[in-house]
Chains A and B, each alone.
Chain A
Amino acid sequence: MGKTRKTPSIIDKPMNFCPGCGHGIIIRLICEVLEELGQDNNVIFPIGVGCSSNLGGGLVADRFHCSHGRAAAVASGMKAVSPENIIVSYQGDGDAYSIGIAETINAAYRNENITVVTVNNTNFGMTGGQMSWTTMPKQKTTTSQLGRDCDKTGYPMKFPELVASQFNIAYAARGSVHSPASINKTKSYIKKAIESQMNNEGYSVVEVMSPCPVNWNMTPVEAMDRIKNELIDYFELGEFKQREVIK
């Protein structure tokens, strides 16, 4: 007999994601973790602009729709006045790493005691699949129609590695949702991130590789295969900054 998986109580209705999208899985994981840690009635989500905005429509939880890219700054202000709440920003790669890179990186720089979850689907999904700072070399998007030329547009950004190597933060990891095993692993990363916040250890970030079949012009299965066969060679999965063991 397999385990019964109960829908977390703060999820109250279906969200508006495209078929085969990974957002739903990631939001579910966050909610399961919050419930398991007893924080599902003590959480505020500053939400990014883009597909991540859909989180607001499906949860019975406090959240705030931030302007594009600013969620980490809003989260910093929330945590400053309300340290008893768990603050989880939920953002896409375009929101967090392109328009919001200043706010995202400076929250890590200050080691704010917040948790940042970024959904990396290698493009701007909501606006119809434009190139983002995580678009892969030669990847075709509506603004890199011949395939991304990284010599002219930059190479895909590895944010968790960047902040883990440069700043004094609590936890950084990258997960994926392309297989049951990767989903379970990602859940354990999100759990460690939120535990580190509960323990006042500082900034935690979990990036999650997520399929975007509509904008990748793929079937959902092909999109999952792309993550497995192409993306995780470049965007390596794992923990880049481990929590210090507290004795």
Chain B
Amino acid sequence: MGEMWKGNHAIAEAAVRAGCRLYAGYPITPSTEIMEYLSARLPEVGGSFIQAESELAGINMIIGGAACGYRSLTASSGPGISLKQEGMSVLADEELSAVVINVVRYGNGLGTLYSAQCDYHRETKGGGNGDYRVIVLCPSSIQEAIEHVFLAYDLAEKYRMVAMIMTEGALGQMMEPIEMPDFIEKKRMPWALDGHYSYKKIGIFDRNSMKEAIDLNQKYNTIKENEQRWESDNLDKADYVFVSYGLPGESTKGAVEQLRDEGYQVGFIRPITAWPYPEKAFNLINPNVKGIITVESNATGQMVDDAALSIKKTKRDKNVPTYCLPYVYGIPAIKEIKKDFMKILSGEIKEVY
């Protein structure tokens, strides 16, 4: 049994141990404990902490750290991540590696403080201006969030892009017993700016945007092929497959377990990468599946689009209905999911696609 850690503190300590040298950000609930922790912790290990005047400045400071080739981090929630989109688009354009954490809270505009999954569309489709993607990891436990910090940096550096950890307000605030990994040492990335003009650069107005865009898309296709991650069970036999990530994903697993005990042939997919979306998991689904059901903590139903496209792609000859159970915010209770499953069986809840 490990030590009890709060989610946000555990993520912050994991970043230190993963070799993060710079944190810059602005306070916002429910992510603030990450920066509070790092304000004291990073200087202890020779790193830097800057309390930025805004989230916009924070992400641009991270761009500075990333351009110089050091592991850099910023974290925020809801509207704070909106302000960071400009910088994330720049990181994509310049092919710099950085990790951004979104401790998701529900709502439009200023939003609320409720734990949610309302930012799925923004994080998985690029978010800022342009034609890019961000690797999105969605942990469902604090231990997994810690592992995702290390994984996010590795993937961000392998592909030279932003990796986001899309956690949830509740996961940031709750405590769990965890095992903290050992420290790793990271040197300056070999491609980084070091003041010595080690790598030739072309002028801003001399870039070949056509070639760059095609190469970037090729990179994204490689990631889609190689980096899909998920957890699943009973897909080959299931009549109905639930799809849910993060903390609602854990509830869904519980609901699937109980429904199977009650004699229903159900299975689940818990996406671990929200982008690239785990389409390959849908290949494993029973060819005679009767429906796909997403369980989401938002009002509009967002991931259901990707689930519907994935089942269409993997079962082209079938018209498999895709349902959505959107619980707006919070973590749906197992009994709620089970009750709504009965409504799907009875036809009371109609398919979205």
Contact = CB atoms under 8 A, between A and B. Distances in A.
Contacts of A41: 195-197
A81 B194 contact: no
Contact of B195 (A42, A56, A57, A80): A42
Contacts of A54: 203-205
B68 A81 contact: yes
A70 B195 contact: no
Given A62-B195, A102-B53, A56 B64 contact: no
A232 interface: no
Contacts, number: 137
Nearest to B64: A77
Interface string A8-48: 00100000100000000000000000000000011110110
Interface string B72-101: 100000000000001100100010000000
A209 interface: no
Contact of A80 (B65, B188, B201, B206): B65
A55 B113 CA distance: 45
A98 interface: no
A105 B94 CA distance: 26
Interface in A102-143: 102-103, 106, 109-110
Given A67-B90, A76-B50, A57 B21 contact: no
Interface size class of B (residues with CB under 8 A): 35 or more
B57 interface: yes
B54 interface: yes
A106 B54 CA distance: 10
A188 to B, nearest CB: 24
A84 B204 contact: no
Interface of B: 21-22, 24, 48, 50, 52-54, 56-58, 60-68, 70, 72, 86-87, 90, 94, 188, 193-197, 200-206
25 contacts: A41-B195, A43-B195, A44-B67, A56-B201, A64-B63, A64-B94, A65-B94, A65-B204, A67-B86, A70-B63, A73-B56, A73-B61, A74-B61, A77-B64, A77-B65, A78-B67, A78-B68, A80-B24, A81-B48, A81-B70, A85-B193, A86-B195, A102-B53, A102-B54, A103-B57
Interface of A: 10, 16, 41-44, 46-47, 53-54, 56-58, 60-67, 70, 73-82, 84-86, 102-103, 106, 109-110
Given A63-B201, A70-B63, 19 more contacts: A10-B197, A44-B67, A46-B64, A56-B203, A60-B200, A62-B194, A62-B197, A64-B67, A64-B94, A67-B60, A70-B56, A73-B57, A73-B58, A73-B63, A74-B63, A79-B64, A80-B65, A103-B60, A109-B53
